[in-house]
Amino acid sequence: MSETQPLNAEVTAAYNNSYLLIAGWLDSTGFRTHGLRCKDPGGRRPGIGEEFLAATRFREADRETETSVRGYFLDSGVCLLSHNGEEYVEGIRTFPLPQGVRLRRELGEVLSQRRSVREYTGDSVDIAQVATLVRAAGAITASGHVDLLEGGERTIPFRTAPSPGGLYPVEVWLLPLMVKGLPKAVWMYDPRHDQLVEVGDGSGVAAALASFAVAEEIISLSRAAAVVLLVGRPRKVMRKYGDRGVRYMFLEAGAISENIHLASGAIGIGSVDCASVCDDQMHSALGIDGESSVLVHAVVLGVP
């Protein structure tokens, strides 16, 4: 094939990107791929995505939001933040995390070599490695002392990932599939006590895995060592920032996810983001309602 002859893939791309917009048969069927919907052939009403972006714009002189935010700088708001995370301690049993693996690689090296790893060997990882990743995701690493207007002070904990207003609406959950030293159960990380709290048994793990809608040749989930689930509590951030707070919750989840990927690369564990999850099925497996608590993201881990 000469260099001037277009490749089949390029012809297909040109067809999909141009001809389909004027193809008459599109008007005879209601079936639309997402790509066609975005190209808007024939016009359409805005989808939920556009409506969400429009509804969560910040506008000048939004007095309700300004008043809501101001309340968190008063003594009552500071006290509320000082107790953030204390609601996580209830569960079937707890598992104190052991000392983790030290992250020794230089940050620039890890950044330049970070890649999504989709194939795993099926080998197990050690609980010390998992402890390192969980702490990278959401451990308390420092604290600040705030003087109250009416006297006294409160301590505000800070975690590894940035959070909107220090509210930390994203929780770190763990499904250990092949982790030496950790029983197979649904665990939630409690940063206040640096421990895992069991919130579901082995049947919950199996049900959660069944909710993934990803082919084995795309991500070898059956050979993965663990899955980290990021569970959001949107009302925790919406009570301060309104509907726009949902945007901030997603940003926090992204920061947590990146921390996991960088720490994984530093200790030689493969990681990949996975959003192919049937939400309702996952929520049922985790025992959450999908509104006050909702799956935001998932990261699959394994030995490359």
pLDDT 10s digits, 94-120: 999 999 999 989 999 999 999 999 999
Which two three-digit tokens encode residue 224?
A: 């993965």
pLDDT at 1: 45
Give the distance from CA 280 to its chain's centroid. Answer: 16
Confidence of residue 137 (pLDDT cuts 50, 70, 90): very high
> Does 39 score more than 70 pLDDT?
no
> Model confidence over 79-95: pLDDT tens digits?
988 888 887 656 679 99
Average pLDDT in the chain: 89
> Model confidence over 230-250: pLDDT tens digits?
999 999 999 999 999 999 999
Contact 167, 84 (CB under 8 A): yes
**Counts of helices then strands in the chain (DSSP H, E):** 11, 11
pLDDT at 232: 97
> Model confidence over 146-169: pLDDT tens digits?
999 999 999 999 999 999 999 999
* φ, ψ dihedrals at 118, nearest 5°: -110, -15
Domain residue ranges of the chain, discontinuous segments joined by +: 8-44, 55-302
> Does 144 score more than 70 pLDDT?
yes
130/190 Cα distance (integer angstroms): 14
Contact 206, 218 (CB under 8 A): no
pTM of structure: 0.88
Q: Is the CATH code 3.30.1490.20 the one for domain 55-302? A: no
* Parallel/antiparallel/unpaired status of strands 179-180 and 125-126: parallel
Give the H/E segment covering residue 258. helix 245-267
Contact 300, 227 (CB under 8 A): yes
173/187 Cα distance (integer angstroms): 6
Supply the angle between the helices 279-286 and 202-210 in degrees, to the nearest 10.
180
Residues 6+ apart with CB under 8 A from 169: 163, 232, 233, 234, 236, 237, 245, 248, 249, 252
Amino acid letter, residue 221: L
Q: What is the DSSP string of 9-76?
A: HHHHHHHHHTGGGT-GGGGG-----HHHHHH-TT-----HHHHHHHHT---TT-HHHHHHHHGGGSHH
